[in-house]
Each structure stands twice: as C-alpha cells, then as structure tokens.
C-alpha cells in the first residue's frame, strides 16, 4: 500500500506560539526551531491577522513574534467572504462567543474557528477544554476546543502536549534532540 504524503496544514493560535517559545528555549532547542522554520517555509503553518495583532500587542519581545512577522508572506491567511459568512450571529451565539446583544467578543477565537471550519486546517491551541460549562458561562471561560466540538471542527490539537503532538505528526522526534 502506497503511503500518502502528509498534506496537513496547521492554523496556530497565539497560545500555541507563546508556549513554543516558553517551552523550547531557542538557546537549548535550536533543532526544534529549525524544524518549525522549515514547516513555515513549506507552507504547513498559517496564522491569521488577529493572532499577529495579539502577538504584537502582548508578546512583542518574543523571538517567535519576530519570526512570525518576518515570515508573514509565507504564513498569512487572507480572510474571505466565506470566513465571515461562517461567523453568522447564530454560530457566534450558539458557541457563546457573543451574547444576543453582541457584547463580550473573544477576539481571535471566532476567526480561528471560521478559518479552520472553512479551510480544513488543523487548529493548534494550548487551551484545554473547559468542563462543567453552563448556558450562561461567560465567553472568555469557554475555550477553543469547546467551540470546535460545538461546531463540529474535528481537526484540532490542544492541551499540554500540543507541540509534542504536532512535531511527532510531522515526523520530528524530541527524543533525538
């Protein structure tokens, strides 16, 4: 049986990018950084505008922010009408991203969900599922994996071992390094 090429593409949340740098110090883990850079060059990693803005606003001193900004031409996803159509008020309220009065937006999450849902990217986030949610739970308490489940987005990597899982899926073993 012939092995199919891995055509997966990863849509990265801010939390995943920040964790990458926090966990893989570039002074000690250069092979991992080189592998991430290679994934970026090959078009396997994509980032949306809202994540760029959040990195610049909150993590401007991080090396990963500089790399993301320096490689925007290779990593950037351009929003389409389909993405905005995906984010109907019904979907936003269903996921409790906004309430029926259009308040309490969680800024990057809606577009991450729209791009993942429309384009089939694997959504990568450090966030863990929130448990014990109630219908009146505040939007910022509901995490991306919960939204993915609500919307039927099946391809996502989340939680404590997000980078280990992504790197191994791409054939990179942390044990060698």
At residue 141's C-alpha, the angle toward residues 137 and 142, to 5°, is: 80
Query: Does 177 map to a domain?
Result: no
Span 85-113, pLDDT tens digits: 877 766 776 666 655 555 555 568 888 98
Query: Does 39 map to a domain?
Result: yes
Supply the pLDDT for residue 173: 82
Span 117-133, pLDDT tens digits: 889 899 999 988 888 87
Query: Does 131 map to a domain?
Result: yes
Residue 31, Cβ neighbours under 10 Å: how many?
12
At residue 105's C-alpha, the angle toward residues 109 and 70, to 5°, is: 45
How many domains does the structure of the chain reveal? 1
Query: Does 49 map to a domain?
Result: yes
Choice between 87 and 34, residue whose per-residue pLDDT is larger: 34
Query: Does 158 map to a domain?
Result: yes
Q: Which own/partner contact pairs does 59-65 have at CB distance under 8 Å and 24+ positions apart?
A: 59/14, 59/17, 59/18, 62/18, 62/21, 63/21, 63/26, 64/17, 64/18, 64/20, 64/21, 65/17
Query: Does 87 map to a domain?
Result: yes
Query: Does 153 map to a domain?
Result: yes
First to last CA, the chain: 31
Give residue 35's domain range: 10-170
CATH number at residue 44: 3.40.50
Mean pLDDT of the region 26-30 = 89
């Amino acid at each position: 049986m012939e092995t199919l090429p891995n055509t997966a593409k990863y849509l990265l949340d801010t939390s995943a990018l920040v964790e990458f740098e926090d966990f893989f110090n570039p002074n000690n883990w250069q092979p991992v950084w080189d592998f991430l850079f290679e994934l970026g060059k090959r078009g396997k990693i994509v980032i949306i505008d809202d994540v760029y803005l959040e990195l610049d606003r909150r993590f401007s001193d991080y090396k990963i922010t500089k790399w993301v900004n320096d490689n925007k031409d290779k990593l950037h996803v351009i929003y389409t009408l389909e993405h905005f159509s995906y984010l109907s008020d019904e979907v936003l309220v269903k996921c409790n991203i906004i309430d029926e009065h259009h308040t309490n937006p969680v800024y990057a999450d809606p577009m991450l969900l729209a791009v993942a849902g429309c384009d089939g990217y694997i959504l990568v986030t450090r966030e863990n599922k929130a448990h014990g949610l109630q219908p009146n739970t505040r939007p910022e308490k509901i995490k991306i994996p919960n939204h993915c489940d609500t919307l039927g987005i099946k391809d996502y990597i989340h939680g404590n071992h997000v980078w280990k899982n992504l790197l191994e899926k791409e054939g990179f073993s942390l044990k060698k390094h």
